[in-house]
Amino acid sequence: MGKLSVIPLFTFLLFLSVIDTKANQYTMLSPTGTIKVNIEENGGRLEYSVRYENLVIIKPSSLGMTFSDGIDFTKGLKLEQAEHRKVNETWEQPWGEVKTIQNKYNEYTFWIKKLGKKMKLCFRLFDDGVGFRYEVPDNVGFGKVEITDEITRFNMNAKDEAWWIGAYQKNSYEHLYQKTPLSQLTDTVHTPLTIETENGKLVSIHEAALFDYASMTLAPDRNGGLKCDLAPWPDGIKVKTEAPFKTPWRTIQLAENAAGLMTSYLILNLNEPSKIEDTSWITPGKYVGIWWEMHLKKSTWAQGANHGANTNNVKRYINFAAKYGFKGVLAEGWNYGWDGNWPADGSNFRFYEPVPDFDMDELSAYATKKGVKLINHHETGGDVANYLEQVEQAFEFSKKYNITTVKTGHVGHYLNGEYTHYGQFAVEYYQKVVELAAKYHIMLDVHEPVKPTGIRRTWPNMMTREGARGMEFDAWSRDGGNPPSHIEILPFTRLLGGPMDFTPGIFEMTLPSRPNNRSNMTLAKQLSVYVLIYSPLQMAADLPENYEGNPAFQFIVDVPTDWDITLVPEAKIGKYLTVVRKDRNSEDWYLGSATNEDSHKITVDCSFLEKNARYTAEIYRDAPDAHWKNNPKAIIIEQKEVNSSSKFEIQLAEGGGAAIRFKKNN
């Protein structure tokens, strides 16, 4: 793994007219014509609409924004075509769900003019969706600006059904998804917002390349309309900036079915190429750590008799990681600041000062000897001012001890007591940490983050983040944990933005220390999550003693975190999902399949395997009497010889799953 490669097939610039159907109206087409976008200036107002396979997806919807100085770029506007560009190139990810991505689109740029001021409106049409954004160049009449509103709308049909979580709630994005018609949305909602139209098409509305701007939420009306609602500063201003600036891309991903939506890479394509030239230090992998035991009340983050991150306990995890080939060991609670009510006051956290019973010198040397790396944890308690004062010294400390991955945390409803996790303040804060981390060759796993918008293409040390309900909710959530359907929803909602540190791999599904909670899936489904929920950093989250001696653990040992190819043979959001991925560093393939509360039978069609080759299928599946609630550990582990012509069936239990390694025979 080294420098990023971009392989241009053809790129050229055409100063042509797009299809001009009438005065001040333009029609834009995707490369194959599958998607058509109309933009029209009507009475000084701008509207666009989107058709997919000649079906109306987005009805005429407004464009524009307003500013605090009274400038209103929503009316009295004149639209002029600027240029048309076609691009077709491929590029390689240093890590990811696939190695090579095609970036093929038609770009159309317009000038919007009003009273001596002007801005650009840029559309990129792919065959799997649309991206558009506003651009304000230098010397076009703007200086410092305060954006008070962006009136971008996405008008759909009221009966179209959406999977959504409310915005501006406590715990940011960590909520269970609801499914309702658009007309019944009861709250402003986060993106990605995934919608199934009345004619069965799948749509995801999100944004790409979120830099130096407020993130977009969507405010609904009863008619199926959705309006851009930018997360505000405390004074109500949405964005504070100056020319030149660009908004994030507003994105509309389109697919025939859920599988097509999951394998769209439009969000990544709308981000700029990597700013890190040499990516050889950015390495995916699996880790274990002192984390789940605190959620089980076995140990504590704070100092005391039951402190989890003590030297001997960390050594135990290092030994376990080394034995099974895991890359890293996370030790939460290693530093000062965990004593007292830190979620209310994070000012006592010190990010380069270990507590007395955590011997960093000894542990770093011990880990290095064992071929394992420590993973530093920087919990801020939301006090990011305190963190920014120390972050460079903290990264220097990490590098001194051969720590190349840092997990950051931002527990609390607000940052610094007043800023949401998704306003412009937060976006700029998170970005500053990403760029500083790159300077020190540090990879990041961000918890309580701003949502992902594909910036991992530009900053590939931004490995993974939380930003949804992960496995920890199974340990203590008052509703008893994530329901069985949760795994079948996440890949089509939150994960459309980017990877998630879900922290799977819980083998003891019932929790004696928390009798009202459990992990609501079978053991075989726990294994399937390593394939279904993508993250370049994957945790084996359970206690080492729960893995030792359990033959099902072998799948977690074997499964990689970096992929060459990803396929989705079948998917229905919230019901079932099957994903097949090829390892980037071997000839092996892996399959994960899972279902919700209902049982489900899958047919494994091995046509993805190399022709004229033989493989051993190592199968981990639900036993006939398995059940997510009544008998979650019942599993069958078996092998069979297969080739590309092979087909076989597997029955998934209620709340169950299957995981398969296809090992190529020599």
The CATH number assigned to the domain holding 24 equals 2.70.98.10
Task: Give the amino acid at 260.
Answer: G
pLDDT of amino acid 139:
81
Q: Identify the H or E element spanning 529.
A: helix 523-532
Residue count of the chain: 666
- Indicate the residue among 434, 459, 484 that finishes a domain: 459
What is the Cα–Cα distance from 446 to 301, expressed in whole angstroms? 18
At 244-269, the pLDDT tens digits run: 999 999 999 999 999 999 999 999 99
pLDDT level of residue 15 (50, 70, 90 thresholds): very low
pLDDT of amino acid 116:
85
Between 24-28, 62-66, 152-156, 455-459, the lowest mean confidence (pLDDT) is in 24-28
SS3 23: coil
Task: Give the amino acid at 258.
Answer: A
At 536-574, the pLDDT tens digits run: 999 999 999 999 999 999 999 999 999 999 999 999 999
Q: Catalytic one among 40, 41, 472, 508?
A: 472
Residue 205: count other Cβ atoms within 10 Å of its Cβ. Answer: 23
Which distant-in-sequence residues (6+ apart) come within 8 Å of 453 by Cβ? 206, 207, 208, 209, 210, 215, 248, 267, 271, 497, 498
pLDDT of amino acid 17:
40
What is the Cα–Cα distance from 505 to 291, expressed in whole angstroms? 13
139 in any annotated domain: yes
**Beta carbons of 500 and 467 less than 8 angstroms apart:** yes
Which distant-in-sequence residues (6+ apart) come within 8 Å of 251 by Cβ? 129, 130, 131, 204, 205, 206, 207, 208, 266, 267, 270
At 420-438, the pLDDT tens digits run: 999 999 999 999 999 999 9
Same domain for 278 and 213: no
Looking at the chain, the whole-number percentage of residues with pLDDT higher than 90 is: 93
Same domain for 259 and 282: no
Q: Which residues of 436-467 are buried (b: 16+ CB within 10 A; e: fewer)?
A: bbbebbbbbbbbbbbbbbbbbbbbbbbbbbbb
Read off the DSSP letter of residue 257: S
Same domain for 293 and 429: yes
pTM score, two decimals? 0.95
At 182-230, the pLDDT tens digits run: 999 999 999 999 999 999 999 999 999 999 999 999 999 999 999 999 9
What is the Cα–Cα distance from 124 to 28, expressed in whole angstroms? 9
228 in any annotated domain: yes
pLDDT level of residue 82 (50, 70, 90 thresholds): confident
Say which CATH number the domain at 658 has. Answer: 3.20.20.70
pLDDT at 49 over 50: yes
As beta bridge partners, residue 59 has: 155
Arithmetic mean of pLDDT, 434-444: 98
Same domain for 522 and 657: yes
pLDDT level of residue 22 (50, 70, 90 thresholds): low
Same domain for 354 and 280: yes
- Indicate the residue among 435, 459, 483 that finishes a domain: 459
**Beta carbons of 573 and 258 less than 8 angstroms apart:** yes
Q: Identify the H or E element spanning 51.
A: strand 45-52
Same domain for 591 and 501: yes
**Beta carbons of 662 and 646 less than 8 angstroms apart:** no
pLDDT level of residue 23 (50, 70, 90 thresholds): low
pLDDT at 14 over 50: no
Phi, psi dihedrals of residue 66, rounded to the nearest 5°: -125, 160
Same domain for 455 and 475: no
The pair of structure tokens assigned to 210 is 């979120």
Apex CA 75: angle with CA 70 and CA 77, to 5°? 105
Number of domains in the chain: 3
**Beta carbons of 52 and 260 less than 8 angstroms apart:** no
Phi, psi dihedrals of residue 121, rounded to the nearest 5°: -125, 120
pLDDT of amino acid 115:
86
pLDDT of amino acid 4:
39
490 in any annotated domain: yes
| Active-site residue, 472 included | yes
291 in any annotated domain: yes
pLDDT at 19 over 60: no
Same domain for 651 and 589: yes
Same domain for 340 and 277: yes
pLDDT of amino acid 666:
85
237 in any annotated domain: yes
407 in any annotated domain: yes
CA distances from 324 to 367, 586, 589 (A): 14, 18, 20
pLDDT of amino acid 5:
40
Domain of 138? 6-269
1 in any annotated domain: no
- Indicate the residue among 459, 485, 501 that finishes a domain: 459
Same domain for 414 and 289: yes
508 in any annotated domain: yes
| Average pLDDT of every residue of the chain | 95
Same domain for 342 and 259: no
Same domain for 25 and 165: yes
